[in-house]
Amino acid sequence: MTVRQLWFIKPYQLDIREQPLADLDATQIWVKTVCSAISAGTEMLVYRGQLPSDISLDATLASLQQDQTYPLQYGYACVGHVAQIGATVDSSWLGKRVFSFQPHASHFITTPEQVIILPEDIESEAAVFLPNMETAVNLVLDGSPALGERVLVLGQGVVGLLVSSVLAQFPLAQLVALESLSLRKAQALKVGVQQVYDPQSKEELARLEHLLHLPIQLTDTAQAGADLIYEVSGSPSALNLAINLSSYTGRIVIGSWYGNKEVKLQLGGVAHRHRLKFISSQVSTIAPELTGRWDKARRFELAWEMIRRTQPQQMITHRVPLEQASALYALLDQAPETILQAVLTY
């Protein structure tokens, strides 16, 4: 039996490699992949050679503990079924549909502890959204949206759309977003965003500022600005826009991973005077103030429930065989306006 694996050879170059699948040891399982999702935000950093050199690809996932030098494998959203089991693995595992944080490959060997059994009512194509939905849940938990708040989401890629879909279930005063790509804007309205503004348009930004009663007057701060802003656009320049749109003592949750892109923040004006709070949110860990009540199992349980409620598989616009991955990544790089979620099939 051979396994087909996606490898990033160097910036802008991919390869599909075939190699024999190793023998199972007694404690392992062999999973045949059905589909895997491309997480465009992070995977484009790998594709374009924009990885930072001072941290690992992921702090907690064993499958991504590797040197950040090419060639390398990447990806973390595989769904498949258990096709073989080791001698000491319980026979009930055979045939189970499972999720695993694995790089893109037609088959992989792992252990039962490293996979998550899919709930029976979750479709395989819905399950590939689990990592990004877990990220969205983590972002919302870190931001602590409150009753009647004005909330703004910068960026409506897949993570931004999932954040918006979760926030849409809160009794907020306003839920608005910034996004320039028309396909994403249309989807944002479908998931419950009340209005989407184009950050490239001065006129639309002016309308957003009017909606938020900006600029802030320090004598009447309670009526101006967004109480809570999520920055998930992947663009470092968006942080300065977030600062300018925030309320007095507003919270800005930074969910983007910028890789090695430089961030230049304007901290000498509004950010200083208005006591803004910057919250760095990353899904590898749970915020210390929540760990007394939340663990990863509870967060996964909530992520599955959000998948049930929001049906994110509706965002899949491209299903492409693994052998055509090079063309798909080039399209993600050159024409992101044509894609919401891309999935590789096997």
Distance CA 26, CA 38 (A): 31
Per-residue confidence at 215, pLDDT binned at 50, 70, 90? confident
Q: Which two tokens stand for residue 53?
A: 């050199």
Q: Which two tokens stand for residue 203?
A: 């006129």
**pLDDT at position 58, please?**
54
- In the predicted model, what is the mean pLDDT of the chain? 93
With a cut of 70, say whether residue 61 has pLDDT above it.
Answer: no
Per-residue confidence at 55, pLDDT binned at 50, 70, 90? low
Superfamily of domain 132-288: NAD(P)-binding Rossmann-like Domain (3.40.50.720)
* Domain range summary for the chain, segments of one domain joined by +: 2-118+311-345, 132-288
- For the beta carbon of residue 308, count every other beta carbon within 10 angstroms: 12
**pLDDT at position 52, please?**
81
Longest dimension (CA), the chain: 72
Per-residue confidence at 272, pLDDT binned at 50, 70, 90? confident
**pLDDT at position 60, please?**
57
Assess whether the region 2-118+311-345 and the region 132-288 belong to the same CATH fold: no
* Residue 111 DSSP label: -
At 15 the three-state DSSP class reads strand
**pLDDT at position 63, please?**
52
**pLDDT at position 273, please?**
85
Strand partners, 31: 82, 108
CB contact set of 126 (below 8 Å; sequence gap of 6+):
307, 311, 312, 313
Amino acid at 292: G
- Mean pLDDT, range 152-179, rounded to an integer: 98
- Mean pLDDT, range 16-21, rounded to an integer: 95
Distance CA 161, CA 190 (A): 10
Distance CA 81, CA 273 (A): 55
With a cut of 90, say whether residue 293 has pLDDT above it.
Answer: yes
Side-chain half-sphere CA neighbours of 301 within 13 A: 5
**pLDDT at position 264, please?**
87
**pLDDT at position 270, please?**
84
Q: Which fold has domain 2-118+311-345?
A: Quinone Oxidoreductase; Chain A, domain 1 (3.90.180)
Q: Kindly report the CA angle at 203 between 198 and 205, in degrees rounded to 5?
A: 50
With a cut of 60, say whether residue 289 has pLDDT above it.
Answer: yes
Helices 158-167 and 296-310, packing angle to 10 deg: 90
Q: What is the pLDDT of residues 78-126, one digit of tens each?
A: 999 999 999 999 999 999 999 999 999 999 999 999 999 999 999 999 9
- Mean pLDDT, range 248-260, rounded to an integer: 92
Per-residue confidence at 280, pLDDT binned at 50, 70, 90? very high
Range in 37-46, 108-117, 212-221, 261-270 the model is least confident about: 212-221
